[in-house]
């Protein structure tokens, strides 16, 4: 896994430094896709759970699609990421140490309530701004938040702590992405730094989730 982890990390850094603000190109799409595809291949070769391998694979597909300048590609990319989140939900729920009853124990109900409020606020903010993409975006919001909520069924011990961290960072990444795409003006200073925040948090989230569920670490 260490070799593939290194390939993914290198591709991620190259994308961060060279392509975050670059115009659309096939090279940009390839580098972006490779950063997550490498984690998927590594997880497969390390004997990781099929849901982890599949979640990373469809996320890599989503990266390719969203990197292409097309509304159809964007919608398909959103669908790919939604599928990835649902696979992560399944991965969390089927883990041998998952205990669904944890969702009823403090502080899980408060966390779930806060995620619900956050989702409602973001939906109200984005609905009038997302134009023709509003319905895919509206459908995506509860899916990404559900991943964060379901992560609470896992214990906060050992490597599974990284699954919780990964889910939380993933939500942060998508929140910043939503602001970048639909809220911030081109003249905003935040618009200039948002792509770097989005990409850094996104790759870190995927790396955390990968590490959490690998059976033998980086071996």
- Average pLDDT (28-39) is 96
Structure confidence at residue 71 as a pLDDT band (50, 70, 90): confident
Answer yes or no: is 150 within a domain.
yes
CA distance 140 to 178: 11
CA distance 40 to 79: 18
**What's the pLDDT score for residue 29?**
94
- Region of poorest pLDDT, from 32-36, 133-137, 148-152, 165-169: 133-137
Q: Write out the residue range of the structural domain in which residue 13 sits.
A: 2-213
Domains in the chain, number:
1
**What's the pLDDT score for residue 61?**
97
Answer yes or no: is 219 within a domain.
no
Answer yes or no: is 162 within a domain.
yes
**What's the pLDDT score for residue 198?**
96
**What's the pLDDT score for residue 219?**
46
Answer yes or no: is 135 within a domain.
yes
Express as a percent the part of the chain with pLDDT over 90.
82
Answer yes or no: is 218 within a domain.
no
Answer yes or no: is 172 within a domain.
yes
Answer yes or no: is 99 within a domain.
yes
What's the pTM? 0.94
pLDDT surpassing 80 at residue 208: yes
Answer yes or no: is 16 within a domain.
yes
Structure confidence at residue 160 as a pLDDT band (50, 70, 90): very high
Q: At what angle do helices 108-126 and 161-182 cross, to 10 degrees?
A: 20
């Amino acid at each position: 896994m260490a070799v593939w982890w290194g390939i993914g990390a290198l591709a991620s850094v190259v994308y961060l430094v060279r392509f975050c603000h670059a115009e659309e190109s096939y090279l940009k799409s390839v580098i972006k896709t490779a950063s997550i595809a490498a984690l998927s291949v590594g997880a497969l070769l390390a004997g990781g759970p099929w849901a982890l391998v599949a979640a990373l694979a469809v996320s890599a597909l989503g990266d390719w699609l969203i990197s292409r300048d097309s509304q159809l590609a964007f919608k398909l990319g959103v669908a790919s990421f939604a599928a990835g989140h649902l696979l992560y939900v399944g991965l969390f729920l089927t883990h041998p140490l998952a205990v669904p009853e944890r969702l009823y124990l403090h502080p899980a109900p408060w966390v779930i309530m806060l995620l619900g409020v956050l989702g409602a606020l973001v939906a109200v903010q984005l609905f009038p701004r997302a134009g023709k993409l509003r319905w895919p975006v509206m459908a995506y919001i509860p899916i990404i938040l559900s991943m964060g909520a379901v992560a609470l069924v896992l214990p906060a011990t050992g490597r599974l702590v990284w699954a919780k961290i990964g889910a939380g960072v993933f939500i942060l990444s998508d929140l910043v992405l939503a602001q970048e795409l639909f809220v911030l003006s081109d003249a905003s200073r935040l618009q200039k730094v948002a792509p770097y925040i989005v990409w850094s948090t996104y790759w870190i989230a995927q790396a955390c989730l990968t590490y959490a569920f690998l059976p033998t670490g980086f071996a």
